[in-house]
Structure 1
Amino acid sequence: MQAVIGLLVMMLGASYGLETHCDCRQDGAHCFGPLGGTAVLQLMDRALETERYKLYKSSDKTTLILTVINNKIVNNFIQNRSSFNLGDGKFRVNNLSRTDSDEYHFEISDGINIKENRSLRLTIQAPVSSARLASECLSQGEKRVSCSSGGGDSPQYNWTLDGRSLTDTELLSVNTETNSITLRQHVSGAVACSVENNVSRFCGFTFIKCTSNETQISQWVFAANNMLCFEPTTPPTTISESSTVAHHSLLVCGVRAAVVVFALIGIAVYFAWKNKNYKKAEGSAYRPEREHQDESVVMVEM
């Protein structure tokens, strides 16, 4: 089971499908792109027919990447993995590699004079692929939790307890070399470690409780890429995230089904009551004069 979960975590951490966005409409923008993923560069609001645009790679403008003249793409030398949208001014580059890390220059002119010349820096980073937690109970009831990432460039680690920052009364020590923390004796709950860099983020959770006469540890890992971390509110009953999701889905479906059933019952009761009052009013109005005819009409309607 652990091997299967580890494989799923690695699959979720793959860089394929990752996408970053960067506003390059100001000079000196620093953009980051995921290795193997996509970077979307906002070069302008939209292309104008009266202006010409050129995008160069390298600081000395030796490599021309893109040329737009009269609102038409004249050249795109990496068109096999990129596209430029004239309507919104976004340049999308796919399948990023380490060689894409460089300084770029974007030039705007009227065909004769250069109106604007902007530079931007694009840095390609390998995304983190997982957040692995390990926890243990110490002899005096303290809890030590360590966190490690599955690859990734320049990972940063952050800790929370039940969705909030740890306080000095809860935290005994922090070891930045091993990316581990030690919690005091009275502390228990959902400890979360987020591992992130400029192109990705993963979160791991562990629920740990230690007592003086016995050790009780339960933990599981939840991976999320480019998403916020969602902390659990109760201890997990299984290490499998899929089971937790399935139970939650069944609960939601059950609640929705109950709402529908009660709504149908309410509608049926309302129409039955309305029909009963209608018949009562009709009978009181006509029964003394046309009793037999009313009964025949009711039978026909039924």
Structure 2
Amino acid sequence: MRATAGLVLWLFTVSQGMETSCDGRRKDAQCYGPLAGEIVIRLMDKIPFGFNWEKEQTILVRARNGKSPSKIPKRFSFTPSNGMLKIENLMRNDSGNYTLIIFRNNGTQIENRTLQLFIEAPVNSVHLTSDCKSIGEQLISCSANDGDSPQYKWSLNQKPLQDSDLLSGSVQANSITLKTGVSGQLVCSVRNNVSQIQKEVQLSCVFINCTSNGTLISKWLPEFAKIMCDKPTFGNQSHPSQNYLPIMGGILSALLILLLIGLAVVCRQKKKKSGIEDQEELTYADVRIVNQSTRSIKVREEVEVEYGQVKFSERPRRTVKTAKDDACVYAQVYRGR
């Protein structure tokens, strides 16, 4: 804001600088209006008996007898109830020194005070660019496409940007270089006396090491550049000389351990199966006594039958023939598993 000998009063900015409001009731006040916009100036609390509002001794607004102004330009309007003067479609030549003279009913002056009005072009748009450099630092440039006397202010993650985050530049400059590792949401705010606008960018420089259509890419780029990779092998802010041998060694060691465990399980199962086949098999004999009808045989009242364990070797079974004429004791042999 320009230096002033008096009190500078500009109150607020509306709709990107298209309308401003100013309190001109104090002497030597300064007001700022947007080019092609409008400004509302409060000249007084209530309408006096008479007043003139002049620019360089040229009367622009004149009122008498406590009534609405009898003389006023087409772009001007005055509200007697609150003493507000509105100027529309501001032009460069509206800038200058204005004087308010208040009269008594006898024509003598009660008050004479001055006001400076400055017309500035508002900032309507901002261009923000981000560029990743060789070691991961980021060059950020913020520029107003229009507007008079723009001023710049930076914030990172909703907090004011600190000098400790900068590799070069100033927090009030429109171009800065951020240190490697600085990340988050960066906002550039641009303002002047009649407007304010801001634009933001998401910081995301990563090292990309991949091929794109057969061409090797190996440098720091914004994260969205990953889409260029055929088969991305990028790393997040890492150096291309990373050594992956420890990782591969760990994977191979794990596979070797799993292979040894599998072989041990298979050998144990085979050994267990072989032991079962070698176990002794028990065979019981079913002994029956048959009385042949053609011969009378005296049988003891108590016949004791003894069962024994019979061992068989792995040989084919043989069929034993018995004589029909003799009383025979035969056995049915069952092989148990």
- TM bracket (short chain): 0.5 to 0.7
Partner of 1:114: 109
Partner of 1:54: 52
Partner of 2:324: none
Out of 84, 89, 98, the position equivalent to 1:104 is: 98
Larger Rg computed on CA atoms: 2
- What count of residue pairs does the alignment treat as equivalent? 199
Distance of 2:70 and 2:145 partners within structure 1: 39
**Cα distance, 1:186 vs. partner?**
1.6
**Cα distance, 1:74 vs. partner?**
3.7
Q: Give a deviation string over 1:192-227, Cα, whole Å, max 9, x none.
A: 111111011110101011123452346xxxxxxxxx
**Cα distance, 1:168 vs. partner?**
2.6
Aligned to 2:110, what secondary structure does the other structure show? strand
1:132 aligns with 2:135: no
Distance of 2:160 and 2:17 partners within structure 1: 31
Partner of 1:268: none
Instruction: Answer 1 or 2: higher relative contact order, Cα 8 Å, separation at least 6.
Output: 1
Out of 194, 200, 215, the position equivalent to 2:195 is: 200
**Cα distance, 1:134 vs. partner?**
0.5
Kept in 2: contact 1:47–1:89 (CA 8 A)? yes
**Cα distance, 1:77 vs. partner?**
3.2
Equivalent position amino acid for 1:54 in 2? N
Equivalent position amino acid for 2:50 in 1? R
Task: Determine which structure has the larger helix proportion and give its number.
Answer: 1
Q: TM-score, normalised by structure 1?
A: 0.62
Kept in 2: contact 1:46–1:87 (CA 8 A)? yes
**Cα distance, 1:24 vs. partner?**
0.5
Distance of 1:176 and 1:162 partners within structure 2: 15
Distance of 2:44 and 2:223 partners within structure 1: 53
Out of 173, 179, 190, the position equivalent to 2:168 is: 173
Q: Give a deviation string over 1:138-194, Cα, whole Å, max 9, x none.
A: 111111110011111111111111121112321211169972111111210111111
Q: How does 1:24-103 map to 2 (within 5 A)?
A: 24-48=24-48, 51-58=49-56, 61=57, 63-78=58-73, 80-103=74-97
Partner of 1:185: 180
* Runs of 5+ unmatched residues, structure 2: 1-14, 209-219, 225-337
Query: How high is the sequence identity, in percent, across the aligned residues?
Result: 40
**Cα distance, 1:68 vs. partner?**
1.5
4+ long deviations beyond 4 Å: 175-178
Kept in 2: contact 1:140–1:212 (CA 8 A)? no
Kept in 2: contact 1:207–1:217 (CA 8 A)? no
* Runs of 5+ unmatched residues, structure 1: 1-14, 219-302
When the two chains are superposed, the root-mean-square deviation of aligned CA atoms in Å is 2.2
